[in-house]
Structure 1
């Protein structure tokens, strides 16, 4: 049977791709937040934190407070700009298109590099059942399968992606809730080991552990990134963001505490499936550990499903504004699937996964730190955008008490972001800055493609000065501002939204 003809992508009246269909309600948006936050990271995190000792639990509490400040900040921002793009669109509207591009570029790296970290942890639980000898070639093959299954689901449409996200979110909660409740009854204080096992100062240990722990909260902005696909985004996105983060925070802290208390410190540091080991210790072996491993596998696929969607949505929003290659803005199917973004991001995640398995021993931690750094940069810009709107645009429209409260929360989110960068370590900051600056040639190419770098014209006989070619006033269509009208006012560009995605 031949396939039905593929529906051509729709377009706005100015030739830009049409906005995607809003197919996610509050339950699906909340599941996207929870499913993106709770992946395999939480299942592998106790092992990554074990070298620091129980002091890492203090770091986890601090990170949780910072994550909640970020969640509230994203909720407030999504009410002001209920459009797809999240950190990208907030930075662009507040600080201009270059800041928007840097955020889109950095977050896009976070998304596909984060998928590589998730799938590495996911492989550890799959290998409870297969490849128990952890042969590298088979581990890489399993990881690639784990990356491309969610990509295939995303390619079938946003409705199927949302339904799959709800199912996997429900299934993953059972063992996590069990460990965060019943597991606490089996804690043995002797398992914790030295409070600070890192050999660093207390502040240094907390900062370093916090940089790893923050990976567990990446994805709290998921609903704001896909706001254009959420019904009633001004109402549902803030609720999904804050409530989803709160639920994850409770499960994270209690579950990690239970694992630290049921698995010895020495065993935990070498474990590739710490929740499985904790369940086996509680029940004396048997099928309990296998059940947790199955839940971790389901959880990982669910997280990869959500993050694969984010990998495509962020560059899609930027591409509509001419700040990412236009291939990312093309949609296919009735619900508007950004095929190029899904495939390109999954290919990059596959490459970094293969590279990491062949170059690093502590694959998970290396990729985690890079993902955290590239995520914190958009978080930092988002908090700054909120402060900008509050202190510059909102001073007269808000009551003093509300203004003081919102400024305090945004300032905490901003300070937390700076602290997270500091805790990532010099090597991670070096690599993170390198991949961030790789975006500069891309930005130059995009500006040139939009005709915004002009020619050299004579100013007077015998002399030349560079002069940029100014866009017409206003311009629309396939030019430099897809889906928006663009005006030159007082020598600077002002953006007036025509519609929200």
Structure 2
């Protein structure tokens, strides 16, 4: 995927960031955090600051390391193969469950669009989910150029209802004035804010998309940092504006019981039920765009690790369109199995929550080590920065990012951390097998010390 003719430019890279961050999550985010009232906006604001800090960290890292793989490449450069593998494996274990979560939310909107009862027919949900997972997979297999064009189109279309709510909707929010209380949840304010942060944090996953697919971006040294910052700022503005709009338009009682707050808001503004179906159509478009981008990301990280002999060699094999097809197919297959298993054991909303919290841990770990790599560089080679203000600024941003990623893991809950730990142990078994397969026997420095 290093052919310039098949690479995406700045618009495609920005669209990939926006498409990766804004999936179907934004269409349910106001309801998810709205139960905590106006205090939820504080949590959303803190999560936004953390996401922007991460975007700036990834922007800085991408300027130094143009190698594909994003968090994997940064951790490997800073701490060696073992941590590099851990980051790659952990991120891979976040990408395909993330697709499972996105497609589960997407299924609800497909059902709403066609007037089917959401979440009542597991077999129907599984069939719809398979379509939502495998169509983007085949689009990806057609090549980067096709994927980028599709990503730009879906990113533009998904913004239509969001722009409306973020502008006209703000007017109606103050007109209706259905603002909830500060914290009607019955819990402490600290609890409300903390849970709002945890929920909103998952909505910002994707700030690193362009850096992971750097090999597929034209002039990555320039375009990846710009795309990362622009894409994250655009998403942050959208999240804040539409959440404020929905909180003011939709009554609290409706908001806390509805899975489609956008539809409720549009129905209230226009006074007709068909408006909800229109929004459902845009949610379907948004979800398929996010699935399209994350399918590419799910294959790019293991491909980069395989190039360094840290993942099985099959992950670096390319089809005739220059796509790492093994990564696309395995990620989609695992996501399919996760959806089937989740819907076979629990309801749609519960299954979605379990997958989301698990992904919060597995993506939080690669973010954490990426920020550590930035701090490591700042206090080694980074000390050569002649501008002390720039050095201090980058250090503060990295520390904010470190705290934010630490919270991502803690806030995901005990069960998610327990399951992730078990999966990580399995990953180290894979790493050991790759070390044996490629002839990494022992540690050179330790062997040298023992010989003295």
Matches of 1:36 and 1:89, distance apart in 2 = 19
Find 2:346's aligned residue among 360, 363, 379: 360
Relative distance call for 1:99 and 1:410 in structure 2 (3 A) is same
Cα offset, 1:261, TM superposition: 1.9
- What is the CA deviation profile of residues 324-371 of structure 1, one whole-angstrom value per residue up to 9, with x for unaligned ones? 11110101114x111110010001111111122222332222221111
Distance between the aligned counterparts of 1:216 and 1:469, measured in 2?
A: 40
Distance change >3 Å, CA 265–CA 212, structure 1 → 2: same
Report how far residue 61 of structure 1 moved. 0.6
Task: Measure, in 1, the Cα distance between the counterparts of 2:357 and 2:57.
Answer: 23
State the distance in 2 between where 1:201 and 1:20 align.
55
Q: 2:96 aligns with which of 101, 109, 112?
A: 112
Q: How does 1:475-490 map to 2 (within 5 A)?
A: none
Q: Which has the higher strand share?
A: 1
Residue 146 (structure 1) aligned to one of 132, 142, 157:
132
Q: Which moved more, 1:307-316 or 1:349-358?
A: 349-358
Contact conserved, 1:28 with 1:165, CA < 8 A, in 2?
yes
2:228 to 216, 234, 241: 241
Alignment-derived partner of residue 481 in structure 1: none
1:307-386 correspondence runs (5 A): 307-334=294-321, 336-361=322-347, 362-386=350-374
| Residues 1:290 and 1:346: Cα distance change in structure 2 (over 3 Å) | same
The yes-or-no answer on 1:276 pairing with 2:263 is yes
8 A Cα contact 1:48 1:365, kept in partner: no
2:83 to 86, 89, 99: 99
Give the drift of 1:62. Answer: 0.4
Distance 2:443 2:80 in 1: 19
Tell me what 2:280 maps to. 293
Query: Offset at 1:239?
Result: 0.2
Say which of 302, 320, 323 aligns to 2:289: 302
The alignment partner of 1:394 has SS state of helix
- Note closer, same or farther for the CA distance 1:110–1:396 as it changes in structure 2 (3 Å cut): same
Residue equivalent to 1:45: 29
Tell me the residue number matched to 1:180: 166
Q: Distance in 1 between matches of 2:187 and 2:301?
A: 38
Residue 117 of structure 2 is aligned to residue 130 of structure 1: no
Q: CA deviation at 1:204?
A: 2.3
Query: Would the alpha carbon gap of residues 372 and 35 (structure 1) be closer, same or farther in structure 2, given more than 3 Å must change?
Result: same
In 1, distance between residues paired with 2:36 and 2:354? Answer: 16
TM-score by length of 1: 0.85
Of 410, 433, 437, which residue of structure 1 is paired with 2:398? 410
Which residue in 2 is equivalent to 1:210?
197
8 Å Cα contact 1:184-1:258 kept in structure 2:
yes
**Larger gyration radius, structure 1 or structure 2:** 1
2:182 corresponds in structure 1 to 195
Cα separation, partners in 2 of 1:322 and 1:209, compared to 1, 3 Å: same
Q: Displacement, 1:20? A: 5.9
Q: CA deviation at 1:400?
A: 1.3
Secondary structure of the structure 2 residue equivalent to 1:195: coil
Deviations 1:456-501 (A, max 9, x none): xxxxxxxxxxxx396xxxxxxxxxxxxxxxxx89969xxxxxxxxx
Give deviations 1:210-250, integer Å, cap 9, x for gaps: 11111111111000000011111110000000011001100
Q: Which has the higher contact order (CA 8 A, sep 6+)?
A: 2
User: Equivalent residue for 1:163?
Assistant: 149
2:7 is matched with 23
Partner residue, 2:44: 60
CA distance in 2, matches of 1:214, 1:181: 24
Q: Which of 405, 410, 420 is the matching residue for 1:422? A: 410
**d(CA) in 1 for partners of 2:40, 2:448:** 51
Task: Determine the C-alpha separation between the residues in 2 that align with 1:469 and 1:258.
Answer: 57
Determine which of 399, 420, 424 is the counterpart of 1:436: 424
Q: Which moved more, 1:59-68 or 1:203-212?
A: 203-212
State the distance in 2 between where 1:237 and 1:287 align. 40
Alignment of structure 1 residues 455-494 onto 2, 5 Å: 468=442
- Secondary structure of residue in 2 paired with 1:85: coil
8 Å contact kept, 2:177–2:249: no
Whether the 8 Å CA contact 1:207–1:420 is kept in 2: the answer is no
**Higher mean displacement: 195-204 or 383-392:** 195-204
Taking a change above 3 Å as real, the CA distance of residues 191 and 352 of structure 1, as seen in their structure-2 partners, is farther
Instruction: Specify which of 39, 63, 76 is matched with residue 79 of structure 1.
Output: 63
1:263 equivalent in structure 2: 250
Q: Note closer, same or farther for the CA distance 1:469–1:109 as it changes in structure 2 (3 Å cut).
A: closer
Aligned to 2:113, what secondary structure does the other structure show? coil
Which TM-score applies when normalising by structure 2?
0.94
Count of residue pairs the alignment pairs up: 443
Deviation at 1:200, TM superposition (A): 3.0
Q: How well do the aligned residues superpose, as a CA RMSD in angstroms? A: 2.0
Query: Cα distance 1:138–1:407, how it changes in 2: closer, same or farther (>3 A)?
Result: same
